[in-house]
A and B are shown apart, each in its own frame.
Chain A
Amino acid sequence: MTSSLELSQITKVFTDKVGNTITAVQDMSFNVAAGELVAVVGPSGCGKSTILNMVSGLYAPTSGRVLIEGEEVHGTRPEVGFMLQKDLLLPWRSIVKNVEFGLEEKKMSRAERRERAMTELERMKLAEFAEHYPHQLSGGMRQRAALARTLVIEPDIILLDEPFSALDAQTKLVLQRHFARTIAEAGVTCVLITHDLNEAVIMADRVVVMSGRPGTVVDDFPIELANRTDPLARSLEPEAGVYVKRLFDTLHLENEAA
């Protein structure tokens, strides 16, 4: 199962304790087709995380609508997975228990939960660390465990907020490829927020560029590169550099305008 995602004229205004208002995003619209991976790039503080929080249903937009498969989002939904820069593993749970975390609200037996979690850990090559605790794992392994926890609920939509940015270059490449393959197999719809323009180009089917705060869409274009499941191969294509340059120029102009 895959779902399409639509953001329609979304505006989000925050009010702080003193009563000051901050418009984080203004009148933003973009679509993500079923099974598509859209990368969102933009200057820091332009409202990227805010968008993800609204799509995941953590809070509602001030105006505008978020639609999943044509249905308006009110609150969190079981088919949406979420992954941040921080691995968000619970330090008091073993790795396999962490992976089971997302399944605990679903009706299934303990044995089935364990089985699914172990299958996912095996795919992530982490099965032998199932009984370890997060602090015993390296940063890359922890992020893989977080990915296992995200995938084990078999989400239709995965929201990623700079998931690879805290990793070293090599681990990052391995995880990017792993992730690209996994979501292609499952046909999941993804929104990937990133600061890394190269990552946006090699991972995504399409890139949405946002302006500085209040964030809105300034550019939205498809990435027409082959090898969707192999980011490393993609990064070696000469065309990739052209896309990165285009992103760089757009963002740079944005910064100068601000």
Chain B
Amino acid sequence: MADTSTQIQAGAPEASSGATGKGGKMANPMRGALSAMGSATEIAAILAVGVVVLAAWEFLPPALDVPRYIIPTFSDCMAEFGRMWQRDNLLYHFGSTLIASVIGFVLGGLLGAASGYLLGLSKLWERVLSPYILGLQIAPKVAFAPLFIMWFGYNSIPKLLVTVLVVFFPILVNVLQSMKTVDRDLVNLARVYSMSRLTIFRKIEVPSSLPNLFAGLRIGATLAVIGVTVGELVGGNTGLGFLITYGEGQANTAMVFNAIILLTVIGILLYFAVAAAEKRVLHYLVREEH
């Protein structure tokens, strides 16, 4: 899971730029794509690229004599999709993965944010615990999946736990980072106005940390799907991750393709839900206009 840790590290500098209050600078490809969907010509170009990719997928493998158990064509996948819908209870598996991703993301996000704020409030605890947090942050969290299955059995608890764990850290780290970089002068201003520690937390520190929190949530949204998938791959008999192992066992490449596509769809849904919430909450940040 080198993928996971690089994303977490990438989150930190982005987060600190958010803490300056200017924020809004999203070096993120998805956000870039979203705002790029402005003009009609751009939309046309985006659609054209999609059509070209689909056409290449449909016609290139047969033309190059690649067998369909290696790369099934687009139409193969669509046909398999219909079959999975009718015969393999696809909606159930999709729903199961979606719900696990959302619950895992929400729980992991809440726990990560709460821990970040608590550690941010206590310099002592932050210093005592930060080496361990660093260690756990580097540890490949998805590798815990088999362990959780040994502990809790073949049910939905292990995949939820893995998800909570992978979502937890980037959010914790981002929130903690923002608590450490709150503008001291703003805190002093509140102190001059005789505000209590709790009021300062509520009126200065929490609002200051929101850009970082959302940077963490965006990373967490993409990681949540990875957590659920690994949990389902390792054990259990539900979810899109299970369909991947099931399809693999039957040499049904189209089924594996479809499961991956649907997992990506869940990831995109989560990501854009977070991005939409962020846009509402952080409306006061100056965004870079095109």
B-contacting residues of A (Cβ < 8 Å)?
Answer: 53, 56-58, 76-78, 80-82, 84, 86, 88, 90-92, 101-102, 104-105, 133-135, 153
The answer to whether B194 touches A90 (Cβ under 8 A) is: no
Task: Show 19 A/B contacts (Cβ-Cβ < 8 Å), sorted by A.
Answer: A53-B188, A56-B192, A76-B191, A76-B193, A78-B193, A81-B192, A88-B183, A88-B186, A90-B203, A90-B207, A91-B21, A92-B207, A92-B284, A101-B203, A102-B193, A105-B193, A105-B195, A133-B284, A135-B284
How many residue pairs at the A-B interface have CB separations less than 8 Å? 51
Q: Is the CB of B189 closer than 8 A to any CB of chain A? A: yes
Cα distance A113–B192 in the bound complex, in angstroms? 18
Q: Which residues of B contact A76 (CB under 8 A)?
A: 191-194
Q: Which residues of B contact A105 (CB under 8 A)?
A: 193-195, 199
Give the residue of B185, B194, B203, B286 whose beta carbon is less than 8 angstroms from that of A77. B194
Q: A133-B284, A135-B284, A135-B285 are in contact. Are A90 and B192 (CB under 8 A)?
A: no
Cα distance A254–B162 in the bound complex, in angstroms? 65
The listed residue with most A CB atoms (<10 A of its CB), out of B21, B191, B194, B195, is B194
Q: Which residues of A contact B203 (CB under 8 A)?
A: 90, 101, 104
Give the residue of A56, A90, A102, A135 whose beta carbon is less than 8 angstroms from that of B204. A90
Given A77-B194, A90-B207, 17 additional A-B pairs, CB 8 A: A56-B188, A56-B192, A76-B191, A78-B193, A81-B192, A82-B189, A86-B185, A88-B183, A88-B189, A91-B284, A91-B285, A92-B210, A101-B193, A104-B193, A104-B203, A105-B199, A135-B286
Q: Which residues of B contact A90 (CB under 8 A)?
A: 186, 203-204, 207
Q: Which residues of B contact A78 (CB under 8 A)?
A: 193-194
Identify the 5 closest CB pairs spanning chains A and B, nearest first.
Answer: A82-B192, A133-B284, A92-B207, A135-B286, A102-B193
What is the distance, in angstroms, from A107's C-beta to the closest C-beta of chain B? 12
What is the distance, in angstroms, from B286's C-beta to the closest C-beta of chain A? 5
- In the complex, what residue of chain B is closest to A53 when comparing beta carbons? B188
Cα distance A78–B193 in the bound complex, in angstroms? 6
Q: Which residues of A contact B186 (CB under 8 A)?
A: 88, 90
Q: Which residues of A contact B189 (CB under 8 A)?
A: 82, 88
Give the residue of A80, A92, A134, A135 whose beta carbon is less than 8 angstroms from that of B192. A80
What is the distance, in angstroms, from B143's C-beta to the closest C-beta of chain A? 37
Query: How many of B's residues come within 8 Å of A, CB to CB?
Result: 19
- In the complex, what residue of chain A is closest to B190 when comparing beta carbons? A101
Cα distance A248–B207 in the bound complex, in angstroms? 44
Cα distance A105–B200 in the bound complex, in angstroms? 11
The answer to whether B188 touches A58 (Cβ under 8 A) is: yes
Q: Which residues of B contact A153 (CB under 8 A)?
A: 193
Cα distance A82–B189 in the bound complex, in angstroms? 7
Cα distance A86–B186 in the bound complex, in angstroms? 10
Cα distance A104–B200 in the bound complex, in angstroms? 12
Q: Which residues of chain B from 162 to 200 have a CB within 8 Å of any chain A CB?
A: 183, 185-186, 188-189, 191-195, 199
- In the complex, what residue of chain B is closest to A88 when comparing beta carbons? B189
- In the complex, what residue of chain A is closest to B189 when comparing beta carbons? A88
What is the distance, in angstroms, from B280's C-beta to the closest C-beta of chain A? 12
Q: Which residues of A contact B183 (CB under 8 A)?
A: 88
- In the complex, what residue of chain A is closest to B286 when comparing beta carbons? A135
Cα distance A10–B264 in the bound complex, in angstroms? 65
Q: A90-B207, A92-B210, A135-B285 are in contact. Are A84 and B185 (CB under 8 A)?
A: yes
Cα distance A135–B204 in the bound complex, in angstroms? 17
The answer to whether A88 touches B185 (Cβ under 8 A) is: yes
- In the complex, what residue of chain A is closest to B206 when comparing beta carbons? A92
Interface string of B95-131 (1 = CB under 8 A from A): 0000000000000000000000000000000000000
- In the complex, what residue of chain B is closest to A81 when comparing beta carbons? B192
- In the complex, what residue of chain A is closest to B196 when comparing beta carbons? A105
Cα distance A81–B186 in the bound complex, in angstroms? 14
Cα distance A76–B196 in the bound complex, in angstroms? 11
The answer to whether A58 touches B285 (Cβ under 8 A) is: no
Cα distance A101–B194 in the bound complex, in angstroms? 11
Q: Which residues of A contact B192 (CB under 8 A)?
A: 56-58, 76, 80-82
Cα distance A91–B183 in the bound complex, in angstroms? 12
What is the distance, in angstroms, from B198's C-beta to the closest C-beta of chain A? 12
Cα distance A92–B207 in the bound complex, in angstroms? 7
Q: Which residues of A contact B286 (CB under 8 A)?
A: 135
The listed residue with most B CB atoms (<10 A of its CB), out of A56, A92, A135, A153, is A92
What is the distance, in angstroms, from A195's C-beta to the closest C-beta of chain B? 18
Q: Which residues of B contact A86 (CB under 8 A)?
A: 185
